[in-house]
Structure 1
Amino acid sequence: MSNPESFIQEVTEEVRRDRLYSYFRRYGWIPALIVLAIVGGTAWTEWSKAQATAEAQAFGDSVLDALDMGGAEARQEALSSVPADGAQKAVLALLLASDPTQDRVASLAALEALAADSAQPQSYRDLAVLRRVILAGADLPLAERRALLEPVAAAGRAFRPLALEQLAYLLVEEGNTDAAISALRALTQDQQAPAGLRGRAGQMIVALGGETAPAADAG
């Protein structure tokens, strides 16, 4: 052989390749399993987040519907029938402990306490902020109500459409009708907003003298 070192190197490389292929055949399922675990874990995490958000929103919608009942007895009955689990039970217990028609001050204090309780999920704290702003009304300065609502209206928050609706009403309250109509019009086209909210936004636009869709340019 003219080049024994080259021959030996080729044989060594061949042996290494055979050994590597043998390892792949024997242990190749391990990296594949790791990849599947990572992909599956990511998918499960995203699904869990979406499920938790949907459950929180459904719970919040049920609570808000119950709180909108006409009489104190009807509200108590409706709240008692709202399905709840885990931290939701604590929220319901807090809301059942006071009623705005019987003790408005206590209700506002309870809502403020819930909103400030970092141990509670953010969605329930946002719900408390919304209810407190609605219940307090003009007793809270407009600027303070806006400051409370704006974080709740951020993208990804469970009650974003409801907070946007309340922010639009603040524009009405301060006399900024054109901006209010624009905000409400955006809500009528917001697919994250419940149908009832989109309907209310449309009715409010009409009440303000606006149109639910921008008028087409003439010509």
Structure 2
Amino acid sequence: MALKPQNNEAFFREVDDEVRREQTARLARRYGVIVAVLVLLALAAFGGTLWWRSHQNAVAGERGDQFMAAMASISAGKDDDARKQLDALAGTGVKGYAPLSRMLEADMLVRERKEKQAATAFLNISQDSSAPQQLRDAALLRATTLQFDTLPPQQVVDRLKPLAVTGNPWFGSAGEMTGIAYMKLNHPKLAGAMFVAMTKDKAVPASLRARVAQLAADLGFEPVQPSEIPAA
């Protein structure tokens, strides 16, 4: 018996639905295990991530305790103990504590009047791309301060250029050394402009602003006058 048009549509719809169910069942039989494995791997990865974060936090806590112990040793005058503790931390590669430990070791060299070794240590930290930028800037400033009398003036200017700008946290110290380097290079206009900018930056310590104001005046510039600079 021939099927009516509407019955044809119903028949094809039923066949199509059956084919879809069969394809779905076949895919489930073929890929069901793989999907289950992927889900398990995803869960394991998620759990591993949580464990790793917890582990990292625990390690950071231990490193923090070790760093504080080293600082306590320095305060107590136990430099040998402090150096051992800092050496151990400096070699861990833990972000933050490793470069901080190296900074403290360099500071200890300064206290021991080993300026050349200290300057080299600070300079190495300033060139370490894995260290935080703020720490690298501080290390560069310390290295330049220790080497200031022996460095060519132009090298001082080039080194401190990123720091000797208004708004930079190190503008005071970097600006003063840069200005003096300009004077050594016989660039009074550049030196005077640097000193004037420093007198206008309220983030620069008042005592330093007063000092460079006098230098600017000696060069024929009109800086913010020392009497207008509030005491620190």
Return the TM-score normalized by structure 1. 0.50
Which protein is bigger by CA-based radius of gyration? 2
Q: Which has the higher contact order (CA 8 A, sep 6+)?
A: 1
Return the TM-score normalized by structure 2. 0.48
